[in-house]
Amino acid sequence: MRYGYCLGADFVDGDMKLFDYIASAGYDYIETQLSIVAGFDEAKYDRFKKILAERNIPCKANFLLFPHSMILAGDNFDISVIKSHAEKVLATAADFGSETVVFGNGGSRAVKENMDRSRVYAQMCEIIAAVDPICGKYGVDVVVEPLNLKETNMINSYTDGVKLIKDAGANHVGVLCDWYHVQMDGQTADDIIGQEKYLKHLHIARPQSRRIPALSDDMSEYANFAQVIKKVGYDNKISIEAGDPEISEQKVAGGLALLKKLFG
């Protein structure tokens, strides 16, 4: 298993504290905002790659496939704009060595008032079908992230994600399982069993609070997740995605220790 940590791309502008905590703790990779990195000018992009090389920690996964401002559902949906953006950002991801890009964008993909749910779902399928060959072209997987019901009302479970991929006929798009979102909706990770071929990435945070997980946590909160992941033989990447307001070197290092206890 490879262990990573999600952080904003602002470290390139000099706010290196969290990045340095991650690197010094010994994480295998970082996960950061692809649409922002792909929008860097040449000098800033070169600085991004230089930081990764100097700290000897790669960026093997990314989130923010689409910017939050991009329309992904509704009357102003434009697949040509979406496809053009995906082409640009996935080419960038391949250039710096990313393997996986998360498609979250819960607000943008939601079924809003006066929208037809079946039409929005069809638009989601169209997005996945358009992105799929671009993934194959650049050798970068996109993973659909099921989100809890407080964040979106479209694709809220692992099974929802699998159905979307099947309906879109995609071959290079997978599903992410985020333990925080699973727990928020009172679900379990059991839906993965029998559908594990679609599982291509994991996120984790402390259930309910979305803080950095720690060895002092109640291990029963993670038991189902760890048991299922081991049962299906998943051995790829897992990233901590936490919104802890008080981040310290000790907490970041403790998160890695917890991951190794659960999955090592």
| Residue closest to 197 by CA, chosen among 240, 241, 225, 161 | 161
User: Per-residue confidence at 244, pLDDT binned at 50, 70, 90?
Assistant: confident
Q: What is the mean pLDDT of residues 19-23?
A: 97
- Reduce the secondary structure of 174-231 to three states and give it as a string: EEEEEHHHHHHCCCCHHHHCCCHHHEEEEEECCCCCCCCCCCCCCHHHCHHHHHHHHH
Mean pLDDT of all residues belonging to the chain: 97
d(CA 218, CA 223): 9
d(CA 180, CA 91): 30
Amino acid 125: pLDDT: 98
Q: What is the pLDDT of residues 123-155, one digit of tens each?
A: 999 999 999 999 999 999 999 999 999 999 999
State the fold for domain 2-263: TIM Barrel (3.20.20)
Residues 6+ apart with CB under 8 A from 42: none
Q: What is the pLDDT of residues 174-199, one digit of tens each?
A: 999 999 999 999 999 999 999 999 99
Q: What is the pLDDT of residues 80-110, one digit of tens each?
A: 999 999 999 999 999 999 999 999 999 999 9
Amino acid 158: pLDDT: 98
How far does Cα 96 stand from its chain's mean position? 17
Amino acid 264: pLDDT: 86
pTM: 0.97
Amino acid 245: pLDDT: 86
Cβ distance 100 to 61 under 8 Å?
A: yes
Q: Is 3 helix (H, G, I), strand (E, B) or coil?
A: strand
| Residue closest to 5 by CA, chosen among 261, 224, 233, 237 | 237
- With a pLDDT cut of 90, the percent of the chain lying above it is 98
The answer to whether residue 27 scores a pLDDT higher than 90 is: yes
At residue 79, φ and ψ (nearest 5 deg) are -65, -25
Cα 163-123-91 angle, rounded to 5 deg = 90
Amino acid 94: pLDDT: 98
